[in-house]
Structures are given as structure tokens and as C-alpha cells.
Chains A and B, each alone.
Chain A
Amino acid sequence: MEADRVFRRIERYMKLLGREIVAFDKTKNILRVRERVRDEEVVVEIRISSEWVMGLLELGKIGDYKNSCELFRKLLEANFDHPEYVYSIKGDRIYAVMYVSVDALNLDVFYSEYRRLFHAYRYFKDVVK
């Protein structure tokens, strides 16, 4: 499926789910969605290609942690222990990540994966941090 068709589909899902799209870049196929987790406001970035829909939720900076070894270990252990969480890092940033293959894309699968980001966020704040 072409990326712009996938983009329109995700845009529609977000509207159906009553989510607030705060920014989008149709040339780069990126959507940003505002969410509230507990009392915090967070922004999910959704990157879209012809093959994948990827969601990223930033959790913090590695530099803010004194013991990076312990942080990395906890993130990798959580990846192993919890089917619903995927933690990754890029540069100095820590992310919760979700992926859906376009071949498997429907609202039910997308929403189930999307919600995982917030479970991962809560787990990170409660346990990892």
C-alpha cells in the first residue's frame, strides 16, 4: 500500500478514536498526537511508510541517569519480561516503540499496539525509573 494511503488510514483511525492530532507532515508521513497519561501530557510520534506504521513515545534522556548500565539492563529485561513493551534508545533519548506491519493493519490491531505505548510509559515511570 502506498504510504499516503496508509497515512490517511491512520489519520482516520485517530479521528475515530477521538485523538487530537497536533501536527502532521505529509511529505515525511509523520503525525503527532497529543495524549494524557495520568496527569502528564505526552506526544506520540507516528511515522508511516508503505510497509510500516511506527509509534514512538519519548520517555527521557539517558544523560539524566547516573547509572546507565542499570537503566539499559532494566529496559532490556522489560523487553524480555513484558510482551507488550518495546524499549529502545536513539542518541541520548529513550523511547517506547510500537510497530504494525501494513499487511496486518486494521483498527483493532493498530489500537491494541498503540495502547501498549502508554502501558510502557507507566511501567517506565513506576519501575524502570
Chain B
Amino acid sequence: MIIMSIKKKLSWYFELLGIKYKETPEGFILYYRMGDKRVSILVKIYEEWVEFRWIGLNIGSIKQRSPDLYVILLETLLKLNNVIREVKIGIDEEDNIVVLIHSHRDALFFDVFESEFMAIPLTIRAILEIEPLKRMVSK
């Protein structure tokens, strides 16, 4: 069996799934089409993990405008973490919603990658269905 480097293996997987990508020093940027939108997903390769990261909407303005709504939003995002399996949802220090996958390098095979990766657009769609995020996007 030929052992591929992790970067070569990932770029092969992206090509198999028709995902456009660009190499970066740390990994890749993926350009994934979701309907009429194109989302960018950052891929970083670590010693133990491969991280896939989508940085989404900033909810700082909701916090300023309506603190109660902000709490409900945070609660909903945490609830989603209990429903959606492959990915996790967090927020960064700037109040951006972030969708993440941390795949074990040892367990990264095509079928696992495909199933985990495809959960990112599903999660993005689920997040964008949450009011008032839906209204923010449609503005």
C-alpha cells in the first residue's frame, strides 16, 4: 500500500468530491458551493488533528441590540451541538459563530471525511434557519 502524505490525501479527497481548493502554508482553503452562495472553509493540519473551520455570522450586534435574544441564540447553538453529530459549533472571541470539525489524522479515511465534511453545509443551513440570523442574512 502506498502511504500518502496527509496533504496529498486531502487534496485527492477534495478532487473526488469536486471541491475547489487552494493550498495554504497551514493546510487549505476550500470553496464550497451552497446553492447560490459560496462558503470558504479553512483546513488546518495539526500533529494529531485536521481542523475544518467555517467562520460565520457575527452576532455582536444582536448582543448590543437585544441581550435577551442573544442569550436565546447562544442557547440554540448549544442545543444544536447535541443534535448535529459530526461537527461542533462555537463562538470566537469576536462573537463570530464558528463551525468546526476536528478529525483524528489516524481515522481520516475517505468515507469518514465525506460524512464529516458534508455535515458542515448541513450545519450552516441549520444555523442560517435560526431566527434572527435568517433575517440578518436576507438583509
Contact = CB atoms under 8 A, between A and B. Distances in A.
Interface in A61-75: 68-69, 72-73, 75
Contacts, number: 85
B86 A76 contact: no
A50 interface: no
B43 to A, nearest CB: 14
- The interface size bin for chain B is 20 to 34
Q: Name A's interface SS.
A: helix
A16 interface: no
Contacts of B116: 101
Contact of A80 (B46, B98, B111): B98
Interface residues of A, number: 31
A75 B104 CA distance: 22
Interface in A5-55: 52, 54
B107 interface: yes
Interface of A: 52, 54, 68-69, 72-73, 75-81, 83-84, 86-90, 95, 97, 99, 101, 103-104, 106, 108-109, 112-113
Closest 10 pairs between A and B when the two form their complex, measured CB to CB: A80-B90, A79-B90, A88-B81, A72-B74, A88-B82, A104-B107, A83-B102, A76-B91, A104-B112, A89-B78
